[in-house]
A and B are shown apart, each in its own frame.
Chain A
Amino acid sequence: MTRHTKPLPPASLHIVLALLAGELHGYALMQRVAEFSDGAVRMGPGTLYGTLNRLVQDGLIEETTDRTARDEGERRRYYQLTAGGRSVAVDELGRLQRMVHRIVDHLPGGAIA
């Protein structure tokens, strides 16, 4: 059966996709988002933590309990997708992939110049 859901807002989308590969702390998350978007998306700290706060409230991500002094004593909070968050992220990834395929299919010659 087909599944329908509203697309995530852009900042939430970038964050859940960046977390698909595993847990990350705030700064690494910002760098991952910038890397995935070829530097086009650079979040400020307010955007990042505002979005993380909302995603935690919505149950899509969670802080990991294993927050030992792995960064030479610096206190860092790590975030990871919950089971529901992973499902949403995978759905979003599939939606983006299908969209790209359809766009390419509609281009003359079927390829980007």
Chain B
Amino acid sequence: MTSRRAVTIYQSLLRGYPRRFRDEYGPDMVAISAHQLADERPMRVWARIVVDLATTIPAQHLEEHMNHERGTLVPLVFAILSVAVVLAAVILGPSGVGALMVLIAMGAGAIAVISWRRGRPIRQAAPVTAHWWKLLTMGAGVLIALIAITRATGELAEGMWLPTTLTGLFAMMAIATGLVLGIAHLAGSHLSGQPAN
């Protein structure tokens, strides 16, 4: 197979990529494959190209699909759902359904956090104190969930006092630590003249 024919075949295989990706990088990819076919043994290059196409074409389609969803919509929808279900559970009052709704709310909240984290671009590393708000939010979230659960289930069973008290203490410690780190972070940013993250 001549090098020119091999490049033509590779060019036609690029049709497997999403149109946007192909339009952006197709000519560069063809140029690179031509260089590789000229510099290395064609069989070796083709073996690499086949694996490359088989792994990156589905990945690019997936990324293209995820880029449509990237942003704040999905986490926002699940966060609103989570809050709405917690409120409904509180309004319903103590019942088994209420407890189930709190569990659903926690699941929706977890999906909101995970989808938000996945949608974020890779960023420059931040100092530990920059994460103060996470502790504060987590502590407040656990405390609110705890109050909602105890309200939904009514009086606590005898064996549940210790885990509930420990969870409450944990939540309050997280809030306190978050506040301390937050003050340290804001003070550090103020002293260095950098804007707080």
Please give, as numbers and ranges, the residues of chain A lying within 8 Å of B124 by CB-CB distance. 5, 84, 87-88
Of chain A, the residue at the smallest CB distance from B121 is A58
Q: Tell me, in angstroms, the Cα distance from A4 to B29 when the chains sit together.
A: 35
The reply to whether the CB of B49 lies closer than 8 angstroms to some CB of chain A is yes
Interface residue count for B (Cβ, 8 Å)?
Answer: 31
Identify which of B53, B121, B127 contacts A1 (C-beta below 8 A): B127
* Given A46-B53, A49-B28, A53-B25: A5 in contact with B60 (beta carbons within 8 A): no
In angstroms, how far is the closest chain A Cβ from the Cβ of B40?
A: 9
The reply to whether the CB of B1 lies closer than 8 angstroms to some CB of chain A is no
Of chain A, the residue at the smallest CB distance from B16 is A46
Please give, as numbers and ranges, the residues of chain B lying within 8 Å of A77 by CB-CB distance. 28
Question: Which A59-74 residues have a C-beta within 8 angstroms of B?
Answer: 59-60, 74
Q: Tell me, in angstroms, the Cα distance from A44 to B125 when the chains sit together.
A: 29
Q: Is the CB of A45 within 8 A of B125?
A: no
Selected interface stretch from B30-38, B74-82, B104-112 = B30-38
The reply to whether the CB of B126 lies closer than 8 angstroms to some CB of chain A is yes
Q: Tell me, in angstroms, the Cα distance from A74 to B31 when the chains sit together.
A: 9
Q: Tell me, in angstroms, the Cα distance from A87 to B24 when the chains sit together.
A: 27
In angstroms, how far is the closest chain B Cβ from the Cβ of A41?
A: 11
Q: Is the CB of A2 within 8 A of B128?
A: yes
The reply to whether the CB of A106 lies closer than 8 angstroms to some CB of chain B is no
Identify which of B24, B125, B127 contacts A53 (C-beta below 8 A): B24
The reply to whether the CB of B122 lies closer than 8 angstroms to some CB of chain A is yes
Q: Is the CB of B122 within 8 A of A88?
A: yes
The reply to whether the CB of B170 lies closer than 8 angstroms to some CB of chain A is no
In angstroms, how far is the closest chain B Cβ from the Cβ of A87?
A: 5
Please give, as numbers and ranges, the residues of chain B lying within 8 Å of A42 by CB-CB distance. 48
Question: Which B59-87 residues have a C-beta within 8 angstroms of A?
Answer: 59-60, 63
Q: Is the CB of B128 within 8 A of A1?
A: yes
Question: Which A3-48 residues have a C-beta within 8 angstroms of B?
Answer: 3-6, 8, 12, 26-27, 30, 42-48
Identify which of A47, A48, A58, A76 contacts B122 (C-beta below 8 A): A58
Q: Is the CB of B27 within 8 A of A46?
A: no
Please give, as numbers and ranges, the residues of chain B lying within 8 Å of A46 by CB-CB distance. 17, 29, 52-53, 55-57, 60
Q: Tell me, in angstroms, the Cα distance from A58 to B71 when the chains sit together.
A: 13
Identify which of B52, B63, B122 contacts A8 (C-beta below 8 A): B122
Question: Which B3-61 residues have a C-beta within 8 angstroms of A?
Answer: 17, 21, 24-25, 27-29, 31-33, 35, 48-49, 51-53, 55-57, 59-60
* B interface residues with partner A (beta carbon < 8 Å): 17, 21, 24-25, 27-29, 31-33, 35, 48-49, 51-53, 55-57, 59-60, 63, 121-129
19 A-B pairs (CB sep. < 8 Å): A1-B129, A4-B125, A5-B125, A26-B31, A42-B48, A44-B52, A44-B53, A45-B49, A46-B29, A46-B53, A46-B56, A46-B57, A49-B25, A50-B59, A58-B121, A59-B121, A84-B124, A87-B124, A88-B125
* A interface residues with partner B (beta carbon < 8 Å): 1-6, 8, 12, 26-27, 30, 42-50, 52-54, 57-60, 74-77, 84, 87-88, 91
